[in-house]
Amino acid sequence: MPIEAKFDSQSSTDGPLVHCLYDEATGSWQYVCVDQDSKSCAIIDPILDFDPASARTSTESAEVILRLVESEGYKVDWILDTHPHADHLTAGHWLAQRTAAPHGIGQKVRDIAILWRDYYNQPQSFVPDNCFDRLFADGDSLQIGRFETSVMLSSGHTLGSLSYVTGDAIFAHDTLMHVDVGTARADFPGGSSLDLWNSIQALLALPDESRVFVGHDYGTESRTEPACVATVAEHRKNNPHVGGTQTRSSFIDLRDKRDDTLGLPDRMLYALQVNLRGGRLPEPEDDGHSYFKIPANKF
């Protein structure tokens, strides 16, 4: 079963219940954010399982989420992606079909699509307006039961990454890593370490007790269990990249030097052509099968 760990995060300030589900294969966290009064929820950053060796997809992880939703009697108000992921394929389209919930992402996915049309030499592909039900702008809001959820543009990791703020819960995608790790890379096409710093400062200006839920975790030398949530106050004090006395210039220097040493995620060239389609595989060809297009010698 792809889901390797899961736990619930309860609010201390009448915020949402958050079910946290971890995928060991990609180091990714998926979330179900719940208004317990109405039993309305949003599913955030769900994974479509993928085997790079065989280029085969499956929906086992998404089915785990669906069973959780059904067993708890939740109504799915939204399927939300924070950005077009490079390390996993989104199950957003599959879950939207099965729940009849709208699928949303940031409107700057249009600009990301332009970049990747060139990389894949597919000038007519990736039309986000046709693949998502809602493209959010910075400052937009959406409703999850009684919770008005604010949309924050949090560029840096990608140029179109969003954070969703629901009560005391901040879904900060790949902007921050867990508090004992630091921050995520900013060297993907359209990324920027300066933008990442500025986005993180906006997130860490939110109330101290806010819970920050991150997109990935790979553990540390001293921590083997996956972790995903810490408070804003904990990040301000202890995050090794942006906490304490770290400055903008020291962060940019650290982030840029570290990013120069990183290779591409092994799913990236598969994932972007699916995620820019909202989770759909490329259109089947005349034999009924979909085919990935992988650029050679471009990265």
For residue 2, what pLDDT is reported? 55
What is the band of 250 on the pLDDT scale with cuts at 50, 70, 90? very high
What's the pLDDT tens digit per position in 175-190?
999 999 999 999 999 9
Calpha distance 86→299 (Å, rounded): 14
What's the pLDDT tens digit per position in 187-207?
999 999 999 999 999 999 999
- Domains of the chain, CATH where assigned: 3-275 (3.60.15.10)
